[in-house]
């Protein structure tokens, strides 16, 4: 059974170091999938990427995206979230990637920021959430 919000009993996935597997659509219609750090603000799933990356370009062009988030403690427990890109912002995006780095690596700051790199937060509105 699908819902339009994250079920309460799956919110723990956003506290754990659970990776999201983000599918976006390439210009030729082929899906692209990459692992991502995920955050949830109670309404949107937040994904942080860099300007110019394939997923950034894909999400600018095609807002239909899907995230599969797998429980690191039980690979057969996962959420599939089909959603739409509801917005993107560069504001506070470096502070946000630092927060995610802390959650996923324990580091105080995101260690891989390159000179000139522009971070961007994508807000993804869940449309269909399928818990497994």
Cα separations in angstroms, 128 against 12, 41, 68, 80, 124? 19, 17, 12, 8, 12
The single residue among 14, 49, 59, 70 that binds a copy of itself, judged by CB under 8 A, is 70
Residue 31 interacting with a copy of itself (CB under 8 A) = yes
Piece of 44-52, 72-80, 94-102, 118-126 that binds a copy of itself (CB under 8 A): 72-80
Measured torsion, CA atoms of residues 44, 46, 52, 58, in degrees rounded to the nearest 10: -40
Beta strands in the chain (DSSP E): 20-25, 31-36, 39-40, 45-50, 64-71, 74-89, 119-131
- 29 lies in the site for a copy of itself, by CB under 8 A: yes
Nearer to a copy of itself, 4 or 132 (CB): 132
Instruction: Return the residue of 6, 13, 14, 24 that touches a copy of itself, per CB under 8 A.
Output: 24
As measured in angstroms, the least distance from the Cβ of 26 to a copy of itself is 8
- The least distance separating a copy of itself from the CB of residue 75, rounded to whole angstroms, comes to 6
Selected binder of a copy of itself within 33, 95, 107, 118 (CB under 8 A): 33
């Amino acid at each position: 059974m699908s819902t339009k919000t994250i079920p309460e009993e799956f919110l723990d996935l956003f506290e754990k170091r659970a990776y999201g597997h983000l599918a976006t659509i390439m210009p030729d219609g082929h899906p692209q999938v990459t692992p991502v750090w995920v955050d949830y603000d109670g309404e949107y799933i937040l994904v942080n990427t860099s300007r110019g990356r394939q997923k950034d370009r894909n999400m600018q062009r095609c807002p239909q995206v899907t995230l599969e988030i797998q429980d690191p403690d039980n690979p057969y427990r996962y959420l599939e979230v089909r959603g739409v890109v509801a917005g993107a912002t560069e504001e506070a995006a470096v502070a946000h990637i630092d927060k995610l780095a802390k959650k996923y690596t324990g580091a105080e700051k995101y260690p891989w920021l390159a000179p000139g790199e522009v971070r961007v937060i994508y807000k993804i509105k869940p449309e269909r959430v399928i818990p497994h």
